[in-house]
Chain A
């Protein structure tokens, strides 16, 4: 049994709705997850943990989120605090944090401030270096687990001018601070993920040793941005879990929605397309680290947006019983957070827009090894030195799309593929040059190129897994045809309807939801 399947079987959390109603932290569920050992998957295998596969981690986060997003957010926050340290810290510091996490310490990541939000370079919390100690002054706010986690990776301004090299990441262990030099800020009551500890911390002259700095002086922003390439991709697990939860819940509440329900089938296809993109993105952490600056933004923009659309469509189409359900309402409120944290939708579109020139450039490339997109394929270890803030050669999924299309079986699938390729070529050719003040139309162009990349990812996932994957979704390429149809529709191009295929998807969804199988492309959790 895979780790993901075993976690799914072991994790049982029936009190999600009650805790939510009381804004109560899911302490028991988090303890259960620790007992199972989920925190070991936040620490790289080379440091004694079990993190060796990001696709696996994506799956683990997803199966927790499909029961309760609040628990997934509360527990996996430790990963956010850990990742920048795994990427940039000296071995001794990394080993220290690994020991902390493995023994159950909760770690948080302190990036945002009250007046600056996503504008990291606007940060005002300062760390002044005095005699091999940093003195911290200022506040971090809306930080997940700021109060519950004794250790926080804090992004601090270390040069008064600031700028991209003017910040450092400091690993601050509150247990070592003079209690008079810091204060935890009260929990903020939130719209969704109500039980989560969304709070903050204020430092007044807190002193930490110089050795608390992660990486070389001035590297804080770069480390954080690289870390986000990984965590943004993992955020997709939260959204996929919420989408799966919403579909399952909605179908349970309205067991026989009318056949041929277009919006229901579309919502399912959106979830499947989001899943294919998330799997491709998480595998790219291992295979294509140089492209992650774009791919992670694509995943973080598209997956939560489509899932949010799909959940809205369910509410719209399945009527009052579903909408009145407290759990369904919770899923919707919870799902809305994923588009906000770790870089909002707009922030991610900005990241894509800044790389338009690279995305437009054509570069003949070889198709990836078949193991790259085969969910059973071996993964090379993550090479952190190959992570980069820019992807000068763009995204290879786009370069190899014409070659991939040629492998689709002739018939409806190849036709859809060709039609998709034509749009992608047009869209890439029409990408405008980046400008300092970004016009509104650029955001639409970024959303469109995202759709192109998602389609290319779906095609590669289908090609690499079609010989071994089982289930009716894989018969005659049903899911790929449905996903490409949805993506083409998002691009303003409507392929003809295919009622037989809709029926296949509808039946597959009903079966998956009724029998408690994963609502997923794959019958087995990985």
Chain B
């Protein structure tokens, strides 16, 4: 699986420039919630020790982003061509894990690992505010719990807003979308 990072970057550029029904895509609550969810999942992928979880989250993230990109994400030329290329490469990548591995147990390990990462980050002097703050961890746990229950609900609006703010800042700063800023 190739990095979802550039795909998210492309989708953000698209969402901020594309106007539909009188507003930009990035202003639509549904798109915002998808973008915030994908960013949350990238943070999760960064912390998880479980390969299956990492693979599935990235696979789902690409498909979620593809839904926002719509037809633009399906073109091999033009400003968003890189998106389709990422998608193509990811489709040609298999997982290396055993298919009998337990996804739910992996999610449990993931929640644990993310909590540890947050604790460490808080103790570390000079950790950027977003990583020391509990927002991202709450978002991660919301999504991990949703996946374990088989029902992934959108993040609460407050979390979506906070995460979108961080995401927008990182986009402007050309910073990576992971736990190491």
Q: Is B63 an interface residue (CB 8 A)?
A: yes
Which of chain B's residues have a CB closer than 8 A to the CB of A115? 19
B20:A336 contact, CB within 8 angstroms? no
- B159 CB to nearest A CB, Å: 11
The interface bits of chain B over 64-77 (1 if a CB of A lies within 8 angstroms of the residue's CB, else 0) are 00110011011111
Which interface residue of B21, B91, B100, B157 has the most chain A CB atoms within 10 A? B91
A258:B100 contact, CB within 8 angstroms? yes
Return the contact of B20 from the options A116, A315, A316, A319 (Cβ within 8 A).
Answer: A116
A444:B153 contact, CB within 8 angstroms? yes
Which of chain B's residues have a CB closer than 8 A to the CB of A142? 71
Q: Is B124 an interface residue (CB 8 A)?
A: no
Interface residues on chain B, size class:
35 or more
Using known A-B contacts A308-B63, A440-B154, determine if residue A117 contacts B33 with beta carbons closer than 8 Å.
no
- B residues 69-125 with Cβ under 8 Å of A? 70-71, 73-77, 84, 87-88, 91-95, 99-100
- A16 CB to nearest B CB, Å: 17
Which of chain B's residues have a CB closer than 8 A to the CB of A341? 71
Which of chain A's residues have a CB closer than 8 A to the CB of B170? none
B30:A438 contact, CB within 8 angstroms? yes
Which of chain B's residues have a CB closer than 8 A to the CB of A346? 30, 67
Q: Is B29 an interface residue (CB 8 A)?
A: yes
Using known A-B contacts A117-B71, A438-B29, A439-B157, determine if residue A190 contacts B99 with beta carbons closer than 8 Å.
no
B74:A490 contact, CB within 8 angstroms? no
B150:A316 contact, CB within 8 angstroms? no
The residue of chain B having its C-beta at the shortest distance from the C-beta of A493 within the complex is: B150
- B96 CB to nearest A CB, Å: 9
Please give the number of chain A residues whose Cβ is less than 8 angstroms from any Cβ of chain B in the complex: 52
Q: Is A13 an interface residue (CB 8 A)?
A: no
Return the contact of A316 from the options B33, B55, B63, B151 (Cβ within 8 A).
Answer: B55
Using known A-B contacts A116-B20, A323-B92, A336-B66, determine if residue A440 contacts B30 with beta carbons closer than 8 Å.
yes
Q: Is B143 an interface residue (CB 8 A)?
A: no
Using known A-B contacts A189-B76, A489-B150, A494-B150, determine if residue A344 contacts B70 with beta carbons closer than 8 Å.
yes
Return the contact of B99 from the options A112, A317, A492 (Cβ within 8 A).
Answer: A317
Cα A91 to Cα B84 with chains together (Å): 44
Q: Is A2 an interface residue (CB 8 A)?
A: no
Given contacts A323-B91, A490-B150, A491-B150, 4 further A-B contacts (CB under 8 A): A188-B77, A191-B73, A322-B94, A329-B92
* Interface pairs A-B: 4 shortest CB-CB: A492-B151, A440-B33, A323-B94, A440-B154
- A selection of 29 A-B contacts at a CB cut-off of 8 Å is A115-B19, A119-B20, A188-B75, A188-B77, A191-B73, A191-B76, A191-B84, A191-B87, A192-B74, A261-B99, A312-B63, A315-B91, A315-B94, A317-B99, A319-B95, A323-B91, A323-B93, A329-B91, A329-B92, A333-B91, A340-B70, A341-B71, A344-B70, A439-B157, A440-B155, A441-B153, A444-B154, A490-B150, A492-B149
